[in-house]
Every structure is written in C-alpha cells, then in structure tokens.
Amino acid sequence: MWLIDVLVGNRRRFLCGLRSTAVWIFAVGAVALPAGAEDVQPAIGKANLYIEVAKNTERAVDSWDRYASWVNMKTGPTGKERYLSYGMYELYDVEPLLKEARDMAALEPKAEAIDAAMLKYIAAYEALAPVMSEAAAYYERHGYEADKMKLGKTLHPKMVPLATAFLAERKAMMPVLRAHIAEVQALEVAALEAKDGRTAAFHTAAVMAALHRVMNTFPREKPEQMNADEMDQVMAEIGPDNFAEKFDQLMGGVKPSNATIDVARFGAALDAYVKAVERFEGFSGETPKDFAKFKPMPGEMRIVLQEFQTPLVKSGGREFDGAGQMVMRLTQR
C-alpha cells in the first residue's frame, strides 16, 4: 500500500521536519474495485501514475540536498571541502515512467490542472536529470582527484539554474496533485457506494480517504538542509541537557523548523477518520481474501494518531514530547 511504502521511505523527514508526504495515500492498494466501478478506474490509474512520477523523481530533490550539504552554492566546489566524499545520489531510471505519464496526460479523463502541472514538472526534471546524473557519476568515481575538480566546477553553474527551476515546478505541482488525489478519492468512494452499496471495498476506500485528509494537515514545508559547518556547530553545542534534541537534529541533517500543524484542522480530520474507522470495523459483510491483513491497520493508526494529538494540542501545534518515537510509530504502519 502507498501509505506503508512512502511513509517508511520518508521516516527521517517526519522525525525532523514534520514534512508529510502522505499525499501518496490511495485506497486502490488495499482492496480491488469491483467491475461496476470501472468508470472511475481511468481517473484512478492516472492519479496513481502521477503519484509514481512524483515519488520516483523525488530522488533528484534528495540528491540536490546531498550536494548542498557540503558545497558552497554561491561559489561552487573547490575540491577542498571537508565532506566532498558525500557527492550526490544517483537518480532512478524513470524514462519509461515519464513517457507513460506524458502519454497519459493527453488521455481521458482530462484533468487540466494536474495534467498541465505534471507536464511542466516532467520537462523541468528532464532538463536537470542528465546534468545531475553526470555530476553524481563524477563524484561517485572521485573524478575530482584526477582533474582537480575541473568538471565539478563546470557542472555547478549548469546545475544551479536547472535545479532551481525543477524545485520550483515541484513546489507548484505537488499541491495540485494533492487536490487531484482528493477529488479522485471522493469519486472512487461515491462510485463504489452507488454501484454496490457499502461493501468492503467502499469502507476501505472511505477510511483511506479519511486518513489522507488527516495526513494532509501536516506542514508541507521542506526542512532546510544543514551544511557541514552548521552540523559542526550543532555537535559543538551538545551537552548533557540537550543531548537528545541535538542528536535528533544531527540525525535528520536539517535545521529546526518553525512549521506548525493547525490543531483545529487536525482535530476535525481526526474525528472524521475515527468515525470512518468505526464504520469500517463494524462492517460484517462479505470480504475479499486480502481484507483480513488490512483490517487491523486503520484501527492501529487511529490509536497512534490519537496519542499524537494530545501533546500536539498542548504545544499549539509546534513541539510535542516524545514526538520522534510517536511519529516513528506512524511510519511503521
């Protein structure tokens, strides 16, 4: 399921920046839709494909963050950096996926906002990817040792504007994608109920849509990466009274965030999720064979979110005691 796959993959961001990528939640992975709901299948297929694009191309974001953690972005690499060996991450092979997404954007059902945003995003990624891949390979093989950082200095001014444009397109695309997913989820739930009533598939889709709305209350701001000097400063500040806080900060590699969660919005979304879980757990009709594995998960998530809510309210949506442990439990669902 998307929920499990993506939240586990972004554990560090949850721990340090409360950056929720739970946009990926989609009910399709839990229980297959009945044939009578095929009218929404193309919309679901397009949404899931766009989710796949966003997830796999995020590797470029991570690679750029890695690069920015050791290089002076204004002057570029010199070859004398302390953490030069960090280099960059190799990008995933997404060329077939991007082609499929471009083709899908032209097909029905049209979704003008996300289709247009996705095409612009893909174009920005494809402009950056070749240069970033060349740089990643260069640093991986320690090419700077042979050419005294000649290629690194050449690639840096090429990458900066391309990466800046890519990140801007991603920032513009992601809210559109989230909104589109919410719309498709609502269509899915309505189609399931209209066709066959409140079946196992309906309750699964409804509870996942409700969880999606809870996760969408988390801040979307991307934590700012610490550079090498800033990490050294944090290490120098470690003492007996702040060890846990500073250690978490070092493990995350990002600066403290001022992001907050809207407590009232979170509470309302959680209340709706709790009701959806109660209806889900109360369902006693016919279920598919894979339903038993999924059935305990919404209830377990409800418990974790309710535990999460108590310190969140006390802090006004900012800091909360035991956040790292609690959020890690969220990621392990």
Instruction: Kindly write down the DSSP assignment for every residue of 275-332, as one continuous string.
Output: HHHHHHHH--S---TTHHHHTHHHHHHHHHHHHHHHHHHHTTTS--TTHHHHHHHHHT
Is the domain of 22 the same as that of 113? no
Is there a single domain that holds both residue 280 and residue 309?
A: yes
- On whether both 261 and 160 belong to a single domain, the answer is no
> Average pLDDT, stretch 194-222?
89
Same domain, 103 and 212: no
Sequence letter at residue 187 = L
Residue 52 maps to a domain: yes
Whether 284 is covered by a domain: the verdict is: yes
CA distance 169 to 117: 8
DSSP 8-state code for residue 225: B
**Which pLDDT score, from 0 to 100, does residue 10 have?**
33
Residue 230 is encoded by which pair of tokens? 């800033």
Query: For 81-121, what is each residue's pLDDT tens digit?
Result: 988 999 999 999 999 999 999 999 999 888 999 999 999 99
244 within domain boundaries = no
In sequence order, what are the residues at sequence separation of 6 or more whose Cβ sits closer than 8 angstroms to the Cβ of residue 20? Answer: 14, 215, 216, 218, 219, 220
Do 136 and 261 share a domain, yes or no? no
Q: Is 167 in the same domain as 267?
A: no
Question: 169 and 286 in one domain?
Answer: no
Domain range for 319: 1-30+199-221+257-333
Is 246 contained in some domain?
no
The partner residues of 19 in beta bridges, in order of sequence, read none
Same domain for 89 and 153, yes or no, is: yes
Lowest mean pLDDT among 30-44, 83-97, 174-188, 299-313: 30-44
pTM equals: 0.78
Residues 174 and 288 in one domain: no
pLDDT (0 to 100) of residue 325: 44
- Are both 181 and 287 inside the same structural domain? no
Q: Are residues 320 and 175 in the same domain?
A: no
Least confident span in 190-199, 231-240, 260-269, 270-279 = 231-240
Closest CA to 309 of 281, 273, 256, 277: 273
Domain assignment present for 16: yes
| Res. 241: pLDDT tops 50 | yes
pLDDT number for residue 1: 30
- Token representation of residue 14: 């949850």
**Residue 164 and residue 215 in one domain:** no
Looking at residue 79, what DSSP letter applies? S
Return d(Cα 308, Cα 45) in angstroms, integer. Answer: 33
Structural domain count, the chain = 2
The verdict on residue 235 lying in a domain is: no
- Which residue stretches of 106-242 are H helix? 112-140, 143-147, 150-196, 200-215, 228-237
